[in-house]
Every structure is written in structure tokens, then in C-alpha cells.
Amino acid sequence: MTENNVFDMNSKKREPIEWRRYTKLGIFFIILFAVLLLIFTNVYIVKEGEYKVVRQFGQVVKIDKEPGLNFKIPFIQSTTTLPKHQMTYDVTEAEINTKDKKRMLIDNYAVWRIEDPLKMIKNARTVINAETKMEEFIYSVVRAELGQLEYDEIINDEKSSRGSLNDRITAKVNEVLDRDGYGIVVTDVRMKRTDLPEANEKSVYTRMISERESKAQEYLSRGDADKQRITADTDREVKELLAKAGADANVIRAEGEAEAAKIYNNSFSKDPGFYDLFKTLETYKKTIDDKTVIILPSDSPYARLLMGYTE
């Protein structure tokens, strides 16, 4: 047997051995990949602010609340997520009747969270259903509470007990949710807007305008009364001032006339002739005007004076 024939036989023996070795290596990597894939696809992470609900054939078997890495049974178990943080829900606007039989629209919002995921899933099944139930309870409690208040107490900030009202509504809603085992807690219920139904707005606006006009008329009447009082007080003060000024003027005038008479007497006593002339002229001032005709004898002292005779 030649050397070439021996080499060919050895090569044919090695080929099945190498083929089997590569096949086993490939199978190993396939199995390893499948195991790793199976592990990674069945690992789940619980994050902050969430619950992980583990179900087995549709039934809840575990709820993970703490953050971390967890595993589930492949092909048998599945996971869903529920929010753990607080959520805000905008309650649908609703119409209610107040104690004084007035209709109004109330718009609320609620802050809530899932306290017990197992109870929530058992009774509400989903977050949407839980919010729907919560909204029903909020509407019922709000309608009952506001029905005990007057309209003005609700809309007027000065008279409103809205702060304590929100607290009462929140407490009563939580009582109902706890009683029925929904596993959720309402942190706060707040009234963000109050409006009138469109049909009532016109009548209310008309009443408000009438009240404002009545108030304005009251202010005008009060202003007129104050004006008349001030005018009367001013007129009285003016009359008092004028009377006092008149009295003072009379006193001054009397004093001046007395002083003038004194001066006249002193002056006239020094020249009696001048005094007689002065008195005569004074009488003429009072008895003679521009229409008076005087006939005097030529030898009268007054005629002689007018004629320029001084002797």
C-alpha cells in the first residue's frame, strides 16, 4: 500500500470526528443562547413609583412593591404594571341643587393613589374602572354636601366654608371607597370652578344688575343727604360770620363817628362862623338837588356869599 493511500484513509477517519465536534459545539451555543434568551425574557424590573403584578393563568399570584430585579416562571406567568405614585383625575362637570333651590355647575378634581393593588384589581380590575367608581362617589358626596349650603355660601369667598367642605368631601369619599374595598385612597378633592347653568345666567345677571343699581341709588341718596347737611352747616357758619362782621363793623363805625364828632366839635369851637356856614351847607345838601329853584333876597348872607361879597 502506497503512502498516498494511507493518508487518504486517515483523512476520511478524521472528517467524521471533526464534523461531530463542530455539531456538538453548535448545539451547545444554541442551547446556551436559548437559556440566556429564556432568562432575559423572564426577568422583570420593579421601578420606583410602580407596582408589578404577577399573574399565573390570569390569577394574581404576587405583587412586587419594592424596586429591584425579579423573575417569573417562563410561559406560565406574566406581569403588568400599576402606578404607585399619586395621580390627578379631572372629575366630569356636574349640575347640583343648592339648599336655596338654585342650580349650579360644579367642576372638581381629585388627587388619588392605589393603596392596595390586590383589592383594586379584585373590585375594579383596571385603573380606568377605579377612576370611574371614584368619580361616582365624589359626585354623590359633593351633591349631598353642597345641597346643605346656600348658593352665596358656595360662591362668596368671604362666606364660604369651602376649605372645610373639601376636607369633608375627601373624608367621606374615602369612607365609601374603604367600605367597598376598592384599594384606592383619595388624597384631596378640590372645587376648581363653579358656574351657573346657561338657562339661569340671564336671570342671575339681571338680579345682580338690579342689586347694583339699588346699591348705587343708596349711595347717591346718602351723598345727597351729606351734601344738604354740609350746605346747611356752611350757610349757618356764613350767616354767623356775616352777623359777627356786621356787629364789629357797627362798633367800628360808631367809634369812628364818635371820634369824628369829637374832632368836629373841637374844630367848630375854634371858629363859630365857619361852623354856621358848614351847617348851612349841610342842610342845603339834603334839601337841594339839580331840579331845585332857589329865590334869595339880594341882601341875604348866602346870596352875598355867592355873589362874592364878604363884608
Decide: helix, strand or coil at residue 271: coil
Tell me which of 20-29, 51-60, 66-75 is least confident: 20-29
Cell of 104: 349650579
Lowest-confidence range among 164-168, 204-208, 260-264? 204-208
115 pLDDT tier (thresholds 50, 70, 90): very high
Which one of 9-23, 44-58, 189-203 scores highest in mean pLDDT? 44-58
Q: What is the pLDDT of residues 285-301, one digit of tens each?
A: 777 777 777 777 777 76
Instruction: State residue 42's pLDDT score.
Output: 77
pLDDT tens column, 32-55: 776 666 666 678 888 888 999 999
Sign of CA dihedral 160, 164, 170, 173: negative
According to DSSP, the residues that pair with 68 across neighbouring strands are: 46
More confident residue, 112 or 233: 112
Work out the mean pLDDT of the chain and round it to a whole number: 80
User: For position 6, what pLDDT does the model report?
Assistant: 44
Q: Taking the domains of the chain in order of start, what are their residue ranges?
A: 15-83, 87-195
Which residue has cell 465536534? 21
The pLDDT of 120-141, averaged and rounded, is 92
Cell of 279: 351847617
Q: Is the pTM of this model over 0.85?
A: no
CA 40 and chain centroid, separation: 56
Q: Which residue type occupies 141?
A: V
Q: Which of 58, 170, 163, 212 is nearest to 121 (CA)?
A: 58
Residue 182: name the closest of 138, 124, 139 by CA. Answer: 124
Q: Which CATH fold would you assign to the domain 87-195?
A: Tetrahydropterin Synthase; Chain A (3.30.479)
What single string gives the DSSP state of each residue in 93-133? PEEEE-TTS-EEEEEEEEEEEES-HHHHHHHT-SHHHHHHH
